Each structure stands twice: as structure tokens, then as C-alpha cells.
């Protein structure tokens, strides 16, 4: 099956709003192409694990990653990129049952990545490589709004009014910042010589989980939204380039799922765990060492995550799976 060509969309920049011509949703060519499927070893046939994406949009194996749920848990938006990434990624939306995949934002030079769906449902925050900006896209991809000149891995406040995100300074120096959705009210929550990344806003709106090597090894921490009362949740020790990263909250705010890095936090993949925030006892969710980008569904039923390679020298791309969290 040949890839469906992406529609050519012309953009006009007017102030801070990017207006594009809107056409009918572009169908993404998902299909049963078996050699493109990236399966975790020994667990692919589990009834509690569902393969959501498997396709060859490009001539080489694609990478499907960074899933984010719609507020009603019926859809996911995710980043799609050619395996040999050169900044030309795009965003797709797919139903939670794997049907009706549509192109939200085109692939081909924009480098649109790391989407985060607003809990209100009206906007999707993302980093746009070509614009060097954190931007908001509306649900049909016809309008966008520039928020900030920095803004990796955004996470929304529960009321949809603010965003917490990474401000990247270097591989070992990443700050966590806050900003209003309209670009006002910028604030640095955590900065300085230690690295803090992967912020995730709690469902009750009072706390932010994040990963940091402030004690020598990357662990999961929780702080108040004003940056006070930093509490360490996990307690990994050893290699400063490994540890616990990419936290995502359960909808009731009692647990945090995360990735235990098996190689380096810079490769972004590892084994999936969850931890009780009050008790601090991690439990293994999935013993497969190439998982990354976990995202808990708002209804609490599923954990979406990416599985596969992030290194272009590796053997394969990546796909998105759903892991059942409730029986």
C-alpha cells in the first residue's frame, strides 16, 4: 500500500495567530503491514495490551510517539515522524479503538512535536521546531497561537488556563517554567545548576510531578505549583545518567506512572513502573525495556505509551500501545 500524499497547506502569519486553509481531514494510511509493527517481546498477545498504531507512512519505518489523550478518553493525538528524524514530524489524531486516524498537522518541514491535549478540549499544545515556539493548535488544525519561544514537553493545568513546560538550556540544564495559555504570566519554577524535566500537572491542580537529578540520580519528585515543598517520590541511586523519568498522574492523583531508564535518560526509554504517591512503593507495570512517553487516560482505564527505538542507528521505529490499568 502506497502512502497517501500529504495535502499542501499554505500558511499566513498574522501577528501571533497562524491561519491556514482548512481541508477535509487527511486519512493516515494505517494498515496491517506486519514488518512495520514494533512488538514488545513475549507480551504482544496479552489481552491487556493493545497495539494502537502500525504503519509505513514513509519509505522507512516511522516513529509514532508522545501520545496525549482527549478529555473524554475517546481519542489520542500523537507525534509521527520518519525514523531518520530531520525535524519534519507532524501530529495525528486517532480513536482509542485504533479507527479513523487523521492528519492534524502536516508532515514536511514544520517539526510539530510533543503534543498535549487541553483538559478543556479546545487546544493542543505542542513544540513547533521550525517556529522555535510553544504553540497551540485547535482541534481541526486550522488555527494556531504562539505561546512562548521556549516550551518542550508541555502539560496543562486542569482548568486549561496555564501550561508547565521545560525550558531547555543544555542536555544537563533544563528548567521548569509556567506560563498562561495566552503567553502572559511567565514564571520559572525550578532553575539553576540541577536538571529538572518532564513536568506533569496533577489532576487536582495543586501539584506538579517532575524528574530531576538534584540528588545525583534521576528520580520522580512532586512540588506545589509555586515551586515549594519539593518531595522525592522514588529513590533510585547509582548512574547519574539513568533513573526515573517521564511521570504521568493517575486521574485520582494517587499514583504516578513513569519510565525507569534502562540505558540513559537521553535515550528516553526503559521499563514502565507506577508508584503510590503517599506510600512511595513502585510496582512493575510492564517489563519491556524500550517503553517511553506514558500517558494515563482521563478515565483511568488505560496507559498509552510508545515502544521502540529512538536511536536512528537502531533496528526499528516505534509504535503506540495501550496497557489496561483497570480490569
Q: 147 φ, ψ to 5°?
A: -105, -45
Is 15 contained in some domain?
Answer: no
Is 47 contained in some domain?
Answer: yes
Report which secondary-structure segment, H or E, holds 313. Answer: none
Q: Which of 287, 296, 294, 290 is nearest to 317 (CA)?
A: 290
Is 260 contained in some domain?
Answer: yes
3-state helix, strand, coil in the chain (%, to 5): 0, 50, 50
Strand order in the sheet with 207-212: 196-201, 207-212, 219-224, 231-232
112, 150 contact by CB (below 8 A): no
The overall pTM is greater than 0.75: yes
Is 295 contained in some domain?
Answer: yes
DSSP state letters, 127-158: EETTTTEEEEEETTSSEEEEEES--EEEEE-T
Is 17 contained in some domain?
Answer: no
Is 110 contained in some domain?
Answer: yes
pLDDT in tens, the chain (327 residues): 333 333 322 222 223 333 233 333 333 333 322 333 445 554 445 668 888 886 534 334 578 899 999 999 999 999 987 655 555 678 889 999 988 888 776 644 567 889 999 999 999 999 988 778 999 998 877 788 899 988 899 999 999 999 999 988 776 678 999 999 999 999 999 987 778 999 999 999 999 999 998 888 899 999 999 999 999 999 988 766 678 999 999 999 999 999 998 666 666 788 999 999 998 889 999 888 889 999 999 999 999 999 986 554 454 578 899 999 975
Residue 53, number of CB atoms within 10 A of its CB: 28
Q: For the chain, how big is the Rg over CA atoms in Å?
A: 18
Is 8 contained in some domain?
Answer: no
Q: 153 φ, ψ to 5°?
A: 45, 60
Could you tell me the CATH number of the domain that includes residue 269?
2.120.10.30
Is 7 contained in some domain?
Answer: no
Number of domains in the chain: 1
Query: Domain of 204?
Result: 25-324
d(CA 6, CA 68): 22
Amino acid at each position: 500500500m502506497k502512502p497517501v500524499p500529504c495535502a499542501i497547506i499554505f500558511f499566513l502569519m498574522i501577528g501571533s495567530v497562524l491561519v491556514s486553509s482548512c481541508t477535509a481531514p487527511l486519512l493516515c494510511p494505517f494498515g496491517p503491514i506486519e514488518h512495520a509493527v514494533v512488538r514488545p517481546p513475549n507480551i504482544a498477545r496479552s489481552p491487556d495490551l493493545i497495539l494502537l498504531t502500525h504503519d509505513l507512512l514513509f519509505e522507512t519505518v516511522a516513529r509514532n510517539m508522545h501520545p496525549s489523550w482527549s478529555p473524554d478518553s475517546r481519542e489520542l493525538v500523537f507525534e509521527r515522524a520518519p525514523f531518520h528524524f530531520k525535524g519534519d514530524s507532524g501530529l495525528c489524531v486517532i480513536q482509542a479503538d485504533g479507527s479513523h486516524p487523521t492528519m492534524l498537522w502536516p508532515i514536511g518541514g514544520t517539526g510539530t512535536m510533543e503534543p498535549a491535549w487541553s483538559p478543556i478540549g479546545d487546544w493542543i499544545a505542542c513544540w513547533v521546531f521550525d517556529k522555535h515556539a510553544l504553540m497551540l493548535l485547535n482541534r481541526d488544525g486550522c488555527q494556531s497561537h504562539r505561546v512562548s519561544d521556549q516550551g518542550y514537553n508541555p502539560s496543562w493545568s486542569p482548568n486549561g488556563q496555564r501550561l508547565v513546560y521545560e525550558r531547555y538550556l543544555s542536555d544537563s540544564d533544563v528548567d521548569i517554567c509556567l506560563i498562561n495559555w495566552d503567553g502572559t504570566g511567565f514564571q520559572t519554577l525550578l532553575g539553576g545548576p540541577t536538571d529538572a524535566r518532564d513536568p506533569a500537572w496533577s489532576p487536582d491542580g495543586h501539584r506538579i510531578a517532575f524528574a530531576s537529578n538534584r540528588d545525583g540520580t534521576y528520580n520522580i519528585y512532586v512540588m506545589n505549583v509555586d515551586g515549594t515543598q519539593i518531595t522525592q517520590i522514588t529513590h533510585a541511586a547509582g548512574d547519574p545518567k539513568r533513573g526515573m523519568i517521564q511521570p504521568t498522574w493517575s486521574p485520582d492523583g494517587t499514583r504516578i506512572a513513569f519510565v525507569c531508564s534502562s540505558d540513559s535518560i537521553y535515550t528516553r526509554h526503559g521499563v514502565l513502573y507506577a508508584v503510590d504517591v503517599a506510600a512511595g512503593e513502585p510496582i512493575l507495570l510492564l517489563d519491556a525495556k524500550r517503553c517511553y512517553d506514558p500517558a494515563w487516560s482521563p478515565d483511568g482505564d488505560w496507559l498509552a505509551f510508545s515502544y521502540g527505538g529512538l536511536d536512528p542507528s537502531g533496528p526499528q521505529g516505534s509504535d503506540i500501545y495501550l496497557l489496561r490499568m483497570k480490569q
